[in-house]
Amino acid sequence: MSTAAPAAPAPAPTAPHIPVLLDEVIAALAPTPGAVIVDATFGAGGYTRALLDAGATVHAFDRDPDAIAAGRLWPETQATPPRLVLHPRRFSEMVAALKEYGLAGAGADAGKPCVDGVVMDIGVSSMQLDQPHRGFAFGSDGPLDMRMAQDGPSAADFVNTAAEAEIADVLFRYAEERQSRRVARAIVAARPLSTTGELAQVVRRALGHHPGAPKDPATRSFQAIRIHVNAELEELEAALDAAEALLKPAGRLAVVCFHSLEDRIVKQFLKAASGAVAATSRHVPMAGHAPPAVFTAISKPIRAGDAELARNPRARSATLRHATRTETPARHSQNPAWQRTPA
């Protein structure tokens, strides 16, 4: 038997990318020692690092196995009890995961409020964009993949097998591409496509792109296909429902979005959760009684200041919205999003 002392846990790696709106997110969550907080999008762990430093216990979710593998090197995962618990799952599965861990109850009590905060940083991570072999971007040629979880149908599977009308619908719905039919027709005509460079060139030719133009038109198509392949908007909707169920009274929700479609979902969710009821006309008083609010203290959209933009240009498109949970029971307890059959 070896008598050597066990190796010391590896230090937590420094996040290779700067988390956006970090100070504002931590202020919104107001973590305290012993608080239990869900980081629904672990990534490089920027928010998690700050939450751990504030004394919180963090349950971190990520469907990307690379992010989970890096997180397992953090010493907080080896503490007794662990202060960092990693869940290699979609964030729409928060309730099921915390139930299995023993936090969120069981049976009829499943999904009971059990966390003090939930933070979400929506969309593709910088680490994924910066790795050509993941196929999220076209700055460097790579396989046409785009899968956050690295399993299931890829972007290549979609563009090479989907009907032209379906491709056009995805491009219009998720990127508001006004020439979606022309681009879809060009994609179908160029099949099979296997690399990001091939797809980008097809889109550019379809839209008459000129080198040196301020924005590459292929960006919109890549965004739309990525959102579709990963069911990102459906995941966000389900995750918001799950956060509503899991947050204790006075618990905090903070969501950072980088795209108008995502931010619109969060804005509408919080508006409905605040108990707001739209009048049928601005000349007619609001009909009936507003439902009880499940979230209060809804923030206005928060964006990065000049100092942050100077050191982190990626923050330019980021919008933070946050809110505080009330004592009102979750609205979706009879048909929770995490129990619905995936599309």
pLDDT digits (tens, 9 = 90+) for 201-232: 999 999 987 777 778 888 899 999 999 999 99
Highest mean pLDDT among 24-38, 103-117, 282-296: 24-38
Tokens of 162: 């989907």
Amino acid identity of residue 215, one-letter, is K
- Distance of alpha carbon 263 from alpha carbon 252, whole angstroms: 18
Task: Taking residues 330-335, report their average pLDDT.
Answer: 65
Tokens of 202: 């097809």
Which CATH number applies to 150-229?
1.10.150.170
Residue 120, helix vs strand vs coil: strand
Query: What is the side-by-side strand order in the sheet with 57-61?
Result: 84-87, 57-61, 36-39, 115-121, 247-257, 319-325, 295-296
Tokens of 168: 């056009």
Q: What does the DSSP 8-state code read for residue 329?
A: P
Q: With left for phi above 0 and alpha for psi between -120 and 50, is residue 309 left, alpha or beta?
A: alpha
User: What percent of the chain is modeled with pLDDT above 70?
Assistant: 80
- Distance of alpha carbon 119 from alpha carbon 99, whole angstroms: 19
Task: Taking residues 34-44, report their average pLDDT.
Answer: 95
The domain segmentation of the chain, as residue ranges, is 22-126+237-339, 150-229
pTM: 0.85
What pLDDT shows up at residue 134?
Answer: 58
Report CA-CA distances (Å) from 102 to 62, 110, 182: 19, 10, 51
Q: What does the DSSP 8-state code read for residue 6?
A: P
- Distance of alpha carbon 18 from alpha carbon 22, whole angstroms: 8
Q: What is the pLDDT of residues 141-155, one digit of tens each?
A: 788 988 877 788 999
pLDDT at residue 6 is higher than 80: no
Cβ(103)–Cβ(189) under 8 Å? no
How would you write 154-200 as a 3-class SS string?
CHHHHHHHCCHHHHHHHHHHHHCCCCHHHHHHHHHHHCCCCEHHHHH
Banded model confidence at residue 75, pLDDT cuts 50, 70, 90: very high
Banded model confidence at residue 337, pLDDT cuts 50, 70, 90: very low
Among 14, 37, 36, smallest CA distance to 25 is for 37
Cβ(270)–Cβ(297) under 8 Å? no
pLDDT at residue 7 is higher than 60: no
State residue 291 phi and psi, 5-degree precision: -65, 155
Q: What does the DSSP 8-state code read for residue 122?
A: -
| CATH tag for 22-126+237-339 (out of 2.60.120.10, 2.40.50.140, 3.40.50.150, 3.10.20.600) | 3.40.50.150
Beta-strand relationship, 319-325 and 295-296: antiparallel
The stretches of 230-304 forming alpha helices (DSSP H) are: 232-246, 260-273
Q: Could you check whether 22-126+237-339 and 150-229 share the same CATH topology?
A: no
What pLDDT shows up at residue 135?
Answer: 46
pLDDT at residue 324 is higher than 90: yes
- Distance of alpha carbon 84 from alpha carbon 56, whole angstroms: 9
Banded model confidence at residue 138, pLDDT cuts 50, 70, 90: low
Q: What is the pLDDT of residues 252-303, one digit of tens each?
A: 999 999 999 999 999 999 999 998 854 444 444 555 567 899 999 999 999 9
